[in-house]
Structure 1
Amino acid sequence: MPHTPEPNNEGLDPVPPPHLVFYVEQALLGALLLDPHRADEASGIGPDSFSTDAHAALYRAITSLPRPDAAEHAKNTRWLDRVLAAAREQARGLSPSYLHALVQVCPWPSHAPAYARMVEAEHARRRLQTAAERLVHTVHDVSLAHPVQAALTEADALSKVVDDIAHRFPPRGGVLPRATAAAPPATPNLVEAVEEERILLATATACPSEIASVRWLLPDDLVLPLHAGLWQCLTALDRRNEPVDPVTVLWEAQQRGLMEDGSNPGEVLRMLAEPAASVEHWGERALQRSLLATVEHTARRIEAYAGDRANTPFQLVVGARRALAAVSSVRVRWQHCTKAVPPLQRRPEATTRASQPTTRTARTVRSTRATR
């Protein structure tokens, strides 16, 4: 029978049973202890692929020590003793009895490659979950001087994890992950967001000529449905070259059914009559909030996928890539907002035998504006 932790009978909180991968790791280690030469067949994993420090230490010892002679290994436990001694340098709690238990629980040593693939799949799931958790933490780190850049950097790191998993487990077309409810996002500072959006709408109403400079701002970037609708009204009036003032905006809102939610027309008029600063400034603030909210939603969605052990690595890759597409979309708009356009890639010029190679000075790229 598989060796499992002893039950807790001292009145402490019960120890949860190990996950299935714990027993898979035991079977794999047992196979390698019985037949060390099968370590060459267990590719794609390393010590960090295991779920416990003890198992990681044993795998490191097994794969780092010289392989024993097969006939000699069948007669004595000398090589097992060396493995135990080496593994104890990282996991002092290991005992000879545990190694013997691993040997006994291995069903078929020849199945070591299959066990290794299972361990690799579980490690991929844990890596994805850890990267998603790190991204959520970054979004809520108030100590960061440039939160957007930090969040996008972590999103890129998460994307690289997905790409690595896809390289190891190529996704199958149409295999979507199971729909799992993601953890709700942390409550944003709605008071600040609402106030800044009110100023954005009022400033755009007072300075409609600036609306065209913030085409990268979409209604969905605003937190209140009324504010999103009013922004649609402003952009529609500007696009039609019609007069823009609090009255015309309010009339457009009525035509679109925005006032049917019980909003007070007088309060909306007063809100639209209090401009400050520039449309671009408040638009950038709104887009920054939208970007961070999108990044968090994406991270929590991927975290939920990875938290469901029924999802295979193939499904995780498909689901994660679809979720990350939302980040890519808002990232492009942020780059237009902050003028952070990626550097132009110089294309090599084709040459013929009759022509001499030439050089061309690369175009100067406009400097990026500092992120607030």
Structure 2
Amino acid sequence: MPRTPAPDEDDDLDDLPDTHPPQPVYYAEQALLGALLLDPHRLADVTGIEPGSFSNYAHGALFAAIRDLPAPDPVQHTQDTTWLNAVLAAARKHARGLTASYLHTLIQVCPWPRHASAYARMIETEHARRTLRAHAERLALTARDVTLPQPVTATLAAADALARCVDDLAARFPSHPGSLPRTPAPPPGDTHDGHDEEALDEERLLLATATAHPTEAEQMRWLTVHDFTQPLHAGLWQCLTALTRRGAPVDPVTVLWEAQQRGLLTTGIEPAHLLDLLAGTAGSPQYWGERILQRAVLWSAHDVGHRIEAFTEDPATTPYQLVVGSRRALADLHALRTRWKHASTPTPTASPARTRASAPPRAGPPRATAPSASRISR
């Protein structure tokens, strides 16, 4: 039967198995903690980080203990370990694996205590990268969550949180030349590949209903060819909108002729097939257009999240490069967001102008005296 270790038999952090090799920030955290344990007064030089900024939980607990305890007398600190013992006791309340030997290891591995502020900046940078990655992952996951009652609202809220995180990074890290990320963008996700049957059906129904009700389709300027999954459907939508804007007749045959003029009738696309596609009406163009645009918003948000994730996973990308790359990615989603607002906001109905009816002449004030006889004679 395995023996349960006693509370005081926690393993040293150095002895714990690690499935992943430590990243450079791990050593920066060790160097900073060693500097603060050796020279506690250097805590005044450390800004921009909190216990949660550390990638290692035990390191964060140790930093919190150093920050919360009063600094020792410099001379007394060089003569005994009273303050170090107090720090260890406070930190072990939250991280039981900490030992006195690990504190001495931290002191030994610190290259230069006077570089504490530089170590803190490294920790701040890596924490910002992790925070941005978490927001990007949340955006991508929210965009793919099919259980949400209002998926676009939840996705745009996640995008707003991501944008605020980017603004915070821009305020904390100054700009510098050459700020474009060098990380190549990941390939688009497999959701916008033109093979989603539900999306294809919605696009077919939109084209058919828009052909039957071209006046309604003409008002849907918020829908663009980039929102379609199938190039043929995007081309047919261009045919429809071109006909309506020219004031030309719109029906399946005129749309078919316009498609021929635009070179859409390539090999494998038969005219009879297009006529059948444009004849299957159901619902209204507005409804199917909103469905297509909603899908485009969610797809775009998912891809934006993955693009920003790719930036954060490249350790060579600087914080300000993360800012520039993230803002460019979010700009694409912002354009879709604006069109979604136009599509989903009901058009205000103009109330008829009120016409003022001519009022009957008002009676004059009563005369105080009877009219004179001379005026009557006139």
Who is 2:118 aligned against?
114
The SS at the match of 2:98 is: coil
- Residues 45 and 119, structure 1, Cα contact 8 Å, conserved in 2: yes
Q: Matches of 2:113 and 2:177 in 1, distance apart?
A: 33
Q: Matches of 2:313 and 2:75 in 1, distance apart?
A: 45
- Cα distance, 1:182 vs structure 2: 2.3
Note closer, same or farther for the CA distance 1:100–1:199 as it changes in structure 2 (3 Å cut): same
The SS at the match of 1:252 is: helix
> Which residue identity is paired with 2:33?
L
Cα shift readout 1:154-179 (whole Å, capped 9, x = no counterpart): 00000000000111013335411122
Aligned pair partner of 1:231 in 198, 214, 237 = 237
- Residues 151 and 292, structure 1, Cα contact 8 Å, conserved in 2: yes
Structure-to-structure mapping, 1:22-41, within 5 angstroms: 22-41=26-45
1:133 equivalenced with 2:137 (yes/no):
yes
Who is 2:200 aligned against?
194
Normalising by structure 2, we get a TM-score of 0.85
Q: Matches of 1:183 and 1:270 in 2, distance apart?
A: 35
- Cα distance, 1:340 vs structure 2: 7.4
Who is 1:55 aligned against?
59
- Cα distance, 1:309 vs structure 2: 1.0
Aligned pair partner of 1:268 in 243, 254, 274 = 274
Structure-to-structure mapping, 1:239-258, within 5 angstroms: 239-258=245-264
Aligned pair partner of 2:85 in 60, 78, 81 = 81
- Residues 4 and 18, structure 1, Cα contact 8 Å, conserved in 2: no
Cα shift readout 1:37-60 (whole Å, capped 9, x = no counterpart): 111111000001100110000010
> Which residue identity is paired with 1:137?
L
Normalising by structure 1, we get a TM-score of 0.86
Q: Matches of 1:132 and 1:69 in 2, distance apart?
A: 46
- Residues 57 and 91, structure 1, Cα contact 8 Å, conserved in 2: yes
Larger radius of gyration: 2
Q: Matches of 2:267 and 2:338 in 1, distance apart?
A: 33
Report how many aligned residue pairs link the two structures: 334
1:323 equivalenced with 2:332 (yes/no):
no
Q: Matches of 2:25 and 2:343 in 1, distance apart?
A: 46
Note closer, same or farther for the CA distance 1:173–1:234 as it changes in structure 2 (3 Å cut): farther
- Residues 220 and 343, structure 2, Cα contact 8 Å, conserved in 1: yes
Cα shift readout 1:196-227 (whole Å, capped 9, x = no counterpart): 10000000011111112211000110110100
Q: Matches of 1:183 and 1:60 in 2, distance apart?
A: 42
1:167 equivalenced with 2:168 (yes/no):
no
Who is 1:283 aligned against?
289
- Residues 171 and 317, structure 1, Cα contact 8 Å, conserved in 2: no
Cα shift readout 1:16-40 (whole Å, capped 9, x = no counterpart): 2111100011001101111111111
Task: In structure 2, list runs of 5 or more residues that go unmatched.
Answer: 1-11, 348-378
Q: Matches of 1:223 and 1:142 in 2, distance apart?
A: 19
Note closer, same or farther for the CA distance 1:181–1:261 as it changes in structure 2 (3 Å cut): farther
> Which residue identity is paired with 1:232?
Q
Structure-to-structure mapping, 1:282-301, within 5 angstroms: 282-301=288-307
> Which residue identity is paired with 1:220?
H
Who is 1:124 aligned against?
128
Who is 2:265 aligned against?
259
- Residues 42 and 116, structure 1, Cα contact 8 Å, conserved in 2: yes
The SS at the match of 1:214 is: coil
Cα shift readout 1:244-294 (whole Å, capped 9, x = no counterpart): 111111111111111225312211110001111111000000000001111
Q: Matches of 2:27 and 2:183 in 1, distance apart?
A: 27
Cα shift readout 1:125-167 (whole Å, capped 9, x = no counterpart): 0000000001111112122110000000000000000000111
Aligned alpha-carbon RMSD (Å): 1.7
> Which residue identity is paired with 1:142?
V
- Residues 143 and 302, structure 2, Cα contact 8 Å, conserved in 1: yes
- Residues 183 and 300, structure 1, Cα contact 8 Å, conserved in 2: no
Q: Matches of 1:5 and 1:185 in 2, distance apart?
A: 41
Note closer, same or farther for the CA distance 1:90–1:36 as it changes in structure 2 (3 Å cut): same
Q: Matches of 1:89 and 1:7 in 2, distance apart?
A: 19
Who is 1:351 aligned against?
none
- Residues 183 and 314, structure 2, Cα contact 8 Å, conserved in 1: no
The 4+ residue runs of structure 1 with deviation greater than 2 A are 3-8, 170-174, 179-189
- Residues 32 and 109, structure 1, Cα contact 8 Å, conserved in 2: yes
